[in-house]
Amino acid sequence: MELLSQTIICGILLGGMYALIAIGMTLIMGVMNIVNLAHGALVMVGMYVTYVCAQEFGVDPYLGMFVAMLVLFFLGCLIQKFMINRLVEVESILPENQVLLTVGIMLVLTEGIRLIFKSDYRSVVTSYSSDTLYFSGMAISVPMLTGFFIAMLFTFLLHLFLTRTDLGKSIRATAQDRDAAVYMGINASKITMITFGLGAALAAAGGSLLLPLFYLWPDIGHLFTAKSFIITILGGLGSTGGAIVGGLILGIAESLGATYISMGYKDVVGLVIFLLVLLFLPGGVRSLVKRWQA
């Protein structure tokens, strides 16, 4: 019984951090209408920034995270403005091909990082890396718990930003009706760029929170692209609340798979769920909620 509850709690904690990454992807998908397959690579670059801060300058990963967010915000803005936007502005290029461009960006980022850091596995060790809380027979890792709460805090702050500020509302407006946003005097191109930067910053935040828990190497990005994609589909495309639910489901499923099947099958479990959802619930959890309300 303790094992089961510990497994589920672990899954929830992990899922909260995944959700933050997926929310970044959801935001970008909202304003650009494309799946950003470079999203995991952005997570990976963010993790390297935090890693370098820790390794070279002795900055605690939870502080380094802010550096990574800032760097990735600007990197995201630049990628959107000078690469993706070029294609968006040409009407004859189909969205499918814009997605291909994000694959190219993913490759460039991955290989660029490999050039600098080689393919070696790296990890950040802190004084609290292996700290564990014992709680009625369960052992909970402190970095996981911390990561989860920071992820939830960011999600909450993002929610406030999107609902309470004019900039946040402009992002939502642009996602819901781009032309109508222009009628309101919103500079939709600028908003799109900022949103991409914001999505990249959230990716960096999620990655940095996971840094104490994962080995880091250039190809880890693919893992996160797959996870974010699964989560966004699970949650129903384009909804922040859905991304949280999707993240938690994925986290729990992975955690259960790792405990009861095998550590090695952890990622396979996610993919199986993904396929099941695509087959039987293509609208994700969100469509379930809608069906239930109706």
Partner 1 sequence: MLKVKNLNAAYKDLQVLWDVAFEVKQGELVVLLGANGAGKTTTLNAISGLVASRTGTIEFLGQDIINLPGHKIAQMGITHVPEGRRLFPEMSVRENLEIGSLMPEAKAKRQETIKKVYELFPILAEKRNQDAGKLSGGQQQMLAIGRGLMALPKLLIMDEPSLGLAPVLVSQIFDIVKEINKQGVTVLLVEQNVVRTLGMCDRAYVLDNGRMTISGTGSELLNDEHIKEAYLGI
Q: How far is the CB of 31 from partner 1 (least distance, A)?
A: 13
Instruction: Please enumerate in sequence order all residues whose Cβ is within 8 A of that of 179, keeping only pairs 6 or more positions apart, or say none.
Output: none
80: DSSP letter: I
Taking CB under 8 A as the criterion, the residue among 114, 122, 172, 266 binding partner 1 is 172
φ, ψ of residue 32 in degrees (nearest 5): -105, -15
Q: Is 159 in the site for partner 1 (CB under 8 A)?
A: no
- Cα 131 to Cα 32, 59, 125, 136: the distances in Å are 41, 19, 11, 16
Question: What residues between 68 and 97 interact with partner 1 by CB under 8 A?
Answer: none
Span interacting with partner 1, options 19-27, 114-122, 183-191, 282-290, rule CB under 8 A: 183-191
Pick the binder of partner 1 from 134, 183, 280, 292 (CB under 8 A).
183
Beta carbon nearer to partner 1, 53 or 186 = 186
Q: How far apart are CA 180 and CA 162, in angstroms?
A: 18
Among 142-150, 173-181, 199-207, 219-227, the segment contacting partner 1 (CB under 8 A): 173-181
- In angstroms, the CA 74 to CA 45 distance is 12
Q: How far apart are CA 6 and CA 255, in angstroms?
A: 9
Owner of token pair 């959107």: 80
Choose which of 1, 96, 134, 166 interacts with partner 1 (CB under 8 A).
Answer: 166
Nearer to partner 1, 168 or 226 (CB): 168
User: In the complex, which residues of this chain contact partner 1 (CB under 8 A)?
Assistant: 163, 166, 169-170, 172-173, 176-177, 179-180, 182-188
